[in-house]
Structure formats: structure tokens, C-alpha cells
A and B are shown apart, each in its own frame.
Chain A
Amino acid sequence: MSGFLSYVRRNPALGVGIGMLLFLLLFTTLGRLFVNPLHAYPLSVMPTQPPSAQYPFGTDVQGRDLLAVMVVGTGLTLQIGAIAGAIGLSVGIVLGFVAGYSGGVLDTVITSVIDVYMSIPGFLILVLIASIFSKVDLGVTEMGLIVSIVSWAGPARAIRAQVLSMRERPFVMMSKLSGMGTFEIIMKELVPNLAPYLVMSLSQTVYGGLQASLGLEALGIGARREPTMGMTLYYVQYYSALMLGMWWWVIEPIIVIVLVLTSLVMTSFGLDEIANPRRRKTV
């Protein structure tokens, strides 16, 4: 632990990022002990109340307690990101390792598919897919699954590049010579060496997934019943909260979104320093 602390002193971005993430997780878990999670849904409290002793964060037009919305919504929003990140990274790892390690025709095919796919803005694909479900009641899990459709290409390309450079290193040659199988080399030699890079990829993929889901929700495509941050902002726009002078309803979800996204960026920035020792010297 003290080793970690002294490392964080040299790498403040990582410390700040992880600290903020922990804070958000505590906020959404411990917060449930202090608020009634059901108050995050419409018609549960008095509508349109400014922040007061009873409702420290105020309430919205539809009668949600915004403190409860923030507590529950932070968790739901992180959940969308986590699902998209986990799926996106898993697919990315498989494709990246297959393409990078096997090389040849397979590599060319996978790389060109990724290149073409990445030239189409993921958001447009998501809008099209989401429009299919516009009549269906989406849940948070479904949102995560939808967003993961576009979150695999980035990690796949990045991991492929890393595997490609690692494949030719002496220690991999050594294990090949000593008769290790391909799968064993990947699991025992490549993955441990790429671990910090993979964790960084994870936080980037979660970040990308969150960005995409927020964009969709801002257009009103998403888990309409759930108080996620994106849906909250959609209702802010839908009910013209600013025209009504309800500044608290606008500012609170923005603060949470900024915290969530910045913490992920800071974390991956800090992990980048572990994964790329060269950065330590130059920056």
C-alpha cells in the first residue's frame, strides 16, 4: 500500500483518476443508505423544488428527488460503461491477438475490416441500431449491449499494434524455441507483459462506451425509465429546465458526467505512463 502511495506521488494522474472513481463508487453505493432509491423515479416527491434542507439537490419537474437520481444514476451510468467496456475489450483482445500474432492474410482481413469500420462514425451506427429499438423499452443492460457494438474496433486495433511489436521480442522467441505452444505463449508471455496496457484499454473503452451512450440518451434513445445521467439531461432539454429557471437540475448531472469521464481519462493517462515507460522520461 505504501509502495502504491509513493508511486502515485510520481504519477498524480493515476492517483486522481482512481481516487475519483472510488469516490463515485462510494457515492453510488453508500449513498443508497441515506436516500430512498425509489425517489429517483417520477412522482415520488414534490416537483420543481429548489435545493433545500429536505431535498439538498432539489427536485425535478416530474417529481424525482435529484439527490436520489444522482446516487442511483451514477451507478447505472457506470454500469452501461462497464458492460460496453467489458464486451468491447474482450472482442478487441481476441481480434487484436489473432490479427497481431498470426499475421498474414488473417491480419490483413481483420485490419481492413477494422479500418473500414472505424471510418464510419460509430455514433451513426448506434443511432441506426437504436432506432430499431425505439418502440421497445430499453433497460440499462440493453443500452450497454447496444453501445458495445461500436466499442470493439478501437481496442482491437491498439492491441494488435502492441502484440505485433511484442511478437518479435527476444523473450517470445526464447519461449518459442523452448517449445511452448502458441496459446501458452499468448497467455503466459504476452498477456502479463501487456497487462497495464490492457487495463488502460479497458478504461478507454469504458470511456468510449459512456460517451456513445450519453450521446444516444441526449437524443432520447435509451433506458427511458431509468434515471441515468444521459436520460436526466434529455429530460432537462425536453422540459426546457433553463427556461423554468431550474439551474440545479441542469448543473448536477453535468457535474457527475464531468467527474465520471474525467476520472476515466485521468486513469488511462496514468496507466499509459506504466504501460509506456518511454513516456516517463519525456513528459
Chain B
Amino acid sequence: MKASYVVRRVIFLFMVIWTAASLNFILPHLTGRDPIREQLEQQIASQGRPAKDAAAMIATYNRLFGLDKPLWEQYLVYIKNVFRLDFGFSMMEYPRTVMEIIIARGKITLPFVAVGIVIAFIVGILLGALMGWSRSPAWISAIAIPPLMAASSIPQFVIALLLIFFFAFKIRLFPLGYPYPLDMTENWGDPQFLLQYAYHAVLPIMTIVIVEASGWALGMRAMMVTVEGEDYTVFAEAKGLKPSRIFLRYMLRNALLPSLTGLALRIGFVITGAAVAEAYFNYNGLGARLGAAIASFDYFVIYGIATIIVICIASATFIMDMIYPLLDPRISYRAQKG
């Protein structure tokens, strides 16, 4: 691997995080809305707080949150903090920090999303490889392709609703929602709790698997067709290798490469898709929290969650870029020449 390649990817990683962080900063400021004033005025209106000191309170809070400084200074502080993963305090849940909230909510979201992505990838790749292989019976493709095309083209939350409708509402096999029973407290050391979490996560995981696996299956199928025409496959056949060996070692391995790059890119879509689906499963995870933060215009939580998601995706892409030349020696060969 050439050093210039690594440097380029590192620069790209920082560009992505910086752009996302800047968008995060600029967009809410374009509104001209004042979150602290809105929040206080709401409290004054609903909880009967005295209104006479409101102006002084707003000024004090603005100073505490650093919102009274000039915009460019706020921006520099903000960018510096982003790279230290410090997003400040939540306005609505003060004195909890945004990072605390992200970790607490991420615990609900991350396990089912991660398991979903892994299962979806494996199922999708194997199914696609089987469909694209000329030796597998033609009816597999004929039966599988129409539902796969439909499933891969609709949003996660629609699948979520369908699954809830059939499996939770009609035959009552799985719970209608919530990450764990309402009478349980969140305790990740308790095996009973883990069991309940897993049971409640079946439908959310199925949602991710149905949408993502069908997309990967269709892509993989197209790649298998291409790989089957390559010289090395023809050569392997001419050598008289066993079909299973050609399938696994020659075709599957090579056709897998583009899907692996796609995996890193897809993670972003899966997370944002799951964030929407969470609302339908009544999960109080990252996505639901982001929705709540938008509703209450909690600046720092919006910044924090959006930025952390982008950082995750950008890092995943970066790691994939780093290991890709190891998986496909042709890439590093090309890098040496150019």
C-alpha cells in the first residue's frame, strides 16, 4: 500500500467529518430561531414561571452555553470540540451531556442494527451468488427476483409496519413494540434482560434483513454474471475443477469485492433507515432521540447525534478503503504503477 493512498484517504475522512460538522453548525443557525428563548417562553407559558426576569435568564443561559460569543468563535470552539467528541450539554435534559445521551440511547440502537447488517449481508450475498450462478436452477431467480426487487425498493419503515401488522398484530408471535418489556429496567448485565431485548429485536432485525439483503442479493447476482465471463473462471472450468470449488473460491470471492465496498456505504443508509423505523417499533434509541431533539430544537443533541452518525460512516468507509487492497491485490498493484 502506498503512503500517498493512505494520506489521500485520511484527508478525505477529515473532509467528510468537517463538511458534515459545518453543515450541522450552519443549517440550524440559518433559521434565526433561538432555542433557549423558545424553551424558556414555553416553560413560562406552561408552568407558570414568572415572566419578569425572562430576559436576564435568557442572557445568562446564552452565556453558559457560549451562545453570546461571535458566530465565528462559536464555530471554532464547536469544530475543536467535534474532533474531541465533545458536544456539550443537552438543553432539554440539562445537566446531562450530549455524549451521555448518545451512549445511553446508542445501547438500544446499536445491537439490533449491527446484528441486522451482518445477517443481511451474509444472507444477501449467498442468495445473490446462487441466483447469479449459471448452474443453479433457473426457477430460483424466477421466483426470487420480483419480491426482492419490491423489497429492496421500499423504505425500511414500510417493511416494519408490514411485519408489525402480520407478526405482532395478526398472529401475536412478537411484541408490538418497545425494546424491552415496560415493567423491566434497563440492565445490560442481566441475562433475563438480554433475552427480552433479543426477543423484542426480532422484528426490527427482520426489517433490516429484508430490505438490505434483497438489495445485496440483486447486486451480487449482477456481479456473479460478470465474474462468470472472466478468463479465470473459464480457465478454472477448463482445468476441470469441481463446480463447488469454482463457485466458492473463484466466483464468490471475486464477486464479493464490490459488495464489500458497498457495505461501508450502506451502513449509513441502514442507520438512518433504522432511525425512522425505530419510531414505528416504539424504540427509544438514537433515531427516536434525534426526532425528539428536532421537535424541541435541542441544538446540541441534534448536532451530536447527526455528527456521530457521520463519523461512524466515514470511519467505516475509511477502514474498508484500508483493507480493500489487502482483499484485492489488483488495487495495490495499480497504486504502485500510478
Q: Are B28 and A131 in contact (CB under 8 A)?
A: yes
Q: Are B12 and A116 in contact (CB under 8 A)?
A: yes
Min distance, Cβ B224 to any Cβ of chain A, angstroms? 11
Q: Are B165 and A250 in contact (CB under 8 A)?
A: yes
Binds A, one of B180-188, B249-257, B309-317: B309-317
Q: Taking the complex as formed, is A24 at the interface, i.e. its CB lies under 8 A from any CB of chain B? A: no
Residue of B nearest to A134 (CB): B294
Which residues 137-160 in A have Cβ within 8 Å of B in the complex? Answer: none
Q: Are A262 and B155 in contact (CB under 8 A)?
A: no
The residues of A that contact B290 with a CB separation of less than 8 Å are: 127
Cα–Cα distance between A282 and B31 once the two chains are bound (Å): 52
Q: Taking the complex as formed, is A124 at the interface, i.e. its CB lies under 8 A from any CB of chain B? A: yes
The residues of B that contact A120 with a CB separation of less than 8 Å are: 16, 19-20, 23, 268, 310, 313
Cα–Cα distance between A112 and B16 once the two chains are bound (Å): 10
Q: Are B158 and A233 in contact (CB under 8 A)?
A: yes
Encoded as 1 (CB less than 8 Å from any B CB) or 0, chain A from 263 to 283 comes to 011100100000000000011
Cα–Cα distance between A102 and B226 once the two chains are bound (Å): 31
Q: Are B306 and A251 in contact (CB under 8 A)?
A: no
Q: Taking the complex as formed, is B269 at the interface, i.e. its CB lies under 8 A from any CB of chain A? A: yes
Which residues 244-281 in B have Cβ within 8 Å of A in the complex? Answer: 265, 268-269, 271-273, 275-276, 279-280
The residues of A that contact B150 with a CB separation of less than 8 Å are: 258, 262
Residue of B nearest to A133 (CB): B31
Q: Taking the complex as formed, is A184 at the interface, i.e. its CB lies under 8 A from any CB of chain B? A: no
Cα–Cα distance between A211 and B317 once the two chains are bound (Å): 23
The residues of A that contact B24 with a CB separation of less than 8 Å are: 128
Min distance, Cβ A21 to any Cβ of chain B, angstroms? 14
Cα–Cα distance between A167 and B311 once the two chains are bound (Å): 37
Q: Are B153 and A119 in contact (CB under 8 A)?
A: no
Min distance, Cβ A14 to any Cβ of chain B, angstroms? 13
Q: Are A119 and B28 in contact (CB under 8 A)?
A: no
Cα–Cα distance between A76 and B276 once the two chains are bound (Å): 21
The residues of A that contact B276 with a CB separation of less than 8 Å are: 123, 215, 218-219
Would A242 and B165 be within 8 Å (CB), given that A128-B24, A215-B155, A218-B155 are in contact?
yes
Q: Are B19 and A117 in contact (CB under 8 A)?
A: yes
Min distance, Cβ B45 to any Cβ of chain A, angstroms? 15
Residue of B nearest to A125 (CB): B23
Chain B contact residue count (CB 8 A cutoff): 53
Min distance, Cβ A207 to any Cβ of chain B, angstroms? 7
Cα–Cα distance between A220 and B16 once the two chains are bound (Å): 28
Min distance, Cβ A124 to any Cβ of chain B, angstroms? 5
Q: Taking the complex as formed, is A93 at the interface, i.e. its CB lies under 8 A from any CB of chain B? A: no
Cα–Cα distance between A261 and B30 once the two chains are bound (Å): 33
The residues of B that contact A254 with a CB separation of less than 8 Å are: 158, 161-162
Q: Taking the complex as formed, is B164 at the interface, i.e. its CB lies under 8 A from any CB of chain A? A: yes
Encoded as 1 (CB less than 8 Å from any A CB) or 0, chain B from 301 to 323 comes to 01000100110011001000000
Q: Are A236 and B279 in contact (CB under 8 A)?
A: no
Q: Taking the complex as formed, is A129 at the interface, i.e. its CB lies under 8 A from any CB of chain B? A: yes
Cα–Cα distance between A262 and B155 once the two chains are bound (Å): 11
The residues of B that contact A236 with a CB separation of less than 8 Å are: 161
Cα–Cα distance between A159 and B170 once the two chains are bound (Å): 46
Min distance, Cβ A245 to any Cβ of chain B, angstroms? 8
Determine which of B149, B161, B271 lies in contact with A262 in the assembled complex, contact meaning CB atoms within 8 Å.
Answer: B149
Which residues 240-266 in A have Cβ within 8 Å of B in the complex? Answer: 242-243, 247, 250-251, 254, 257-258, 261-262, 264-266
Determine which of A125, A131, A211 lies in contact with B302 in the assembled complex, contact meaning CB atoms within 8 Å.
Answer: A131
Determine which of B153, B225, B280 lies in contact with A237 in the assembled complex, contact meaning CB atoms within 8 Å.
Answer: B280
Cα–Cα distance between A131 and B291 once the two chains are bound (Å): 9
Which residues 14-42 in B have Cβ within 8 Å of A in the complex? Answer: 15-16, 19-20, 23-24, 27-28, 30-31, 33
Q: Are B12 and A261 in contact (CB under 8 A)?
A: no
Q: Taking the complex as formed, is B87 at the interface, i.e. its CB lies under 8 A from any CB of chain A? A: no
Determine which of A121, A261, A282 lies in contact with B272 in the assembled complex, contact meaning CB atoms within 8 Å.
Answer: A121
Q: Taking the complex as formed, is A132 at the interface, i.e. its CB lies under 8 A from any CB of chain B? A: yes
Encoded as 1 (CB less than 8 Å from any B CB) or 0, chain A from 90 to 103 comes to 00000000000000
Min distance, Cβ B233 to any Cβ of chain A, angstroms? 14
Q: Are B226 and A134 in contact (CB under 8 A)?
A: no
Cα–Cα distance between A269 and B309 once the two chains are bound (Å): 31
Q: Are B317 and A218 in contact (CB under 8 A)?
A: no
The residues of A that contact B16 with a CB separation of less than 8 Å are: 116, 119-120
The residues of A that contact B291 with a CB separation of less than 8 Å are: 219-220
Min distance, Cβ A221 to any Cβ of chain B, angstroms? 7
Q: Are B297 and A282 in contact (CB under 8 A)?
A: no
Min distance, Cβ A84 to any Cβ of chain B, angstroms? 15
Q: Taking the complex as formed, is B169 at the interface, i.e. its CB lies under 8 A from any CB of chain A? A: yes
Interface hub of A215, A219, A257, A262 (most chain B Cβ within 10 A): A219
Interface hub of A127, A135, A211, A261 (most chain B Cβ within 10 A): A127
Q: Are B153 and A207 in contact (CB under 8 A)?
A: yes
Question: Top 5 nearest A-B pairs by Cβ distance?
Answer: A123-B272, A121-B268, A131-B294, A265-B153, A132-B31
Can you name 19 A-B pairs with beta carbons within 8 Å? Answer: A116-B19, A119-B265, A123-B273, A128-B302, A134-B294, A134-B297, A211-B155, A214-B155, A218-B280, A219-B291, A233-B161, A242-B176, A247-B165, A247-B169, A251-B165, A258-B154, A262-B153, A262-B154, A265-B149
Q: Spell out B's residues near A (CB within 8 Å).
A: 12, 15-16, 19-20, 23-24, 27-28, 30-31, 33, 149-150, 152-155, 157-158, 161-162, 164-165, 168-169, 176, 222, 225-226, 229, 265, 268-269, 271-273, 275-276, 279-280, 290-291, 294-295, 297, 302, 306, 309-310, 313-314, 317
Q: Spell out A's residues near B (CB within 8 Å).
A: 112, 115-117, 119-121, 123-125, 127-132, 134-135, 207, 211, 214-215, 218-221, 233, 236-237, 242-243, 247, 250-251, 254, 257-258, 261-262, 264-266, 269, 282-283
